[in-house]
Amino acid sequence: MSIILLILCSCSQEKKKTEFAQANELSQKTQDIVSDLIEYGEITGRAVGYSGGKPKQWDNFTNLKKNATDQELLLLTEHPNPVVKCYAFDLLVKKRNKNSFNILKENLKDTTSVSTQYGCIGSTTRVNDYFIESMSRPYPDNQYLTESDKGTLDSLILFTPNLISNYKNRLLERIEPKEKYYDRIRELALKGNNSAIIAISKYQKENDIELINKLLENKDTDIQFYGLKAVKNFPNENSFEYIKKIHSVEIKKPTSFNYAMLRELYQSIVNYRNKNSRNLLEKTINESDGYTKQYHSEFIWLALKKYPNEIYNGIVEQLGYTKSEIADLESEWNWQIE
């Protein structure tokens, strides 16, 4: 009896979760399409899977595009189901509806998870991040998101309290070090936002070095990654001591490399542009072997390609690459070099 009750309660809660108060303001056709969208349960591209077949959800989306009025789409951006909500917002953006930006601002704190499937890649995102990405896509004649709007959006994302968003972290990592943002960025950094520590490193203030070093002294290489990116912006002698310790550990590892961290390790090292940093590069070349030398050498080459300096003259030659191997590296890392 208790099991039946549990099932009934669960079904009741699920129904409540997807109930839509304004459903009676939608045409029956639109209501049916919305039901189909909910039943499929995720956002998809035109082709999914290894075979690249067209999913039923794409037809559902196309039907919504053909049949839903702008007023219905506006209503659907308030739907409790995240798939419906995101599809409706997508269509409003593509139609350049004047309300799109305000809807985005109203949904900045919607962290509801939504599943996506594009080609062979399945993932999850948050509604607020989906909205931001949708609004930021470079559609032709995209006139509603002005430079002023972009500035407003960035400020809202930065200053909205307790906002959880992947876009927020990406914004912090690329934001220009304007003095008006410093106090807020430092506040976020003190609360443990690692991307904020990358942002604050651009100000190159001595009192922020401790925040950077806390990341570097962490044994987790995923955490060290953020510290190394910060050092790349603010190479300082205090942090170099931690860089040397990380380097000493990494060149002794035979396997289990954190490739993203190693990439940042060498890019942070070469930004010191001094004899000590050159010595670390030569230590790698002279003391490592096997796969360790193979991967570390590749990241040394990439770091010097991105941040060349005459103090490192001759290091690339010491790596021992042939012209063909260098051509392969340039092809592989072109996205990082440009």
pLDDT at 301 over 50: yes
Give the DSSP letter string of 49-83.
TTTTBPPHHHHHHHHHHHH--HHHHHHHTT-SSHH
Instruction: Give pLDDT tens digits for 49-84.
Output: 888 899 999 999 999 999 999 999 999 999 999 999
Mean pLDDT of the chain: 91
- Could you tell me which of 233, 225, 320 has the C-alpha nearest to residue 264? 225
What are the beta bridge partners of residue 43? 116
Instruction: Give pLDDT tens digits for 200-210.
Output: 999 999 999 99
Instruction: Give pLDDT tens digits for 15-28.
Output: 434 588 888 999 99
In the chain the first and final C-alpha atoms are separated, in Å, by: 65
b or e along 292-314 (b: 16 or more beta carbons within 10 Å of the residue's beta carbon)? bbebbbbbbbbbbbbbeeeebee
Share of the chain above pLDDT 70, in %: 92
b or e along 37-47 (b: 16 or more beta carbons within 10 Å of the residue's beta carbon)? bbebebbbbee
Question: Element (H or E) spanning 223, and its range?
Answer: helix 221-233
Which residues have C-beta within 8 Å of that of residue 75, sequence separation ≥ 6? 22, 25, 26
Share of the chain above pLDDT 90, in %: 81
pTM for this structure?
0.83
Instruction: Give pLDDT tens digits for 25-41.
Output: 999 999 999 999 999 99
The whole-number pLDDT of residue 142 equals: 53
Instruction: Give pLDDT tens digits for 214-239.
Output: 999 999 999 999 999 999 999 999 99
Judging by DSSP bridges, how do beta strands 121-126 and 113-119 pair with one another? antiparallel
Angle, alpha carbons 68-73-76 (nearest 5°): 115
pLDDT at 1 over 70: no
pLDDT at 183 over 50: yes
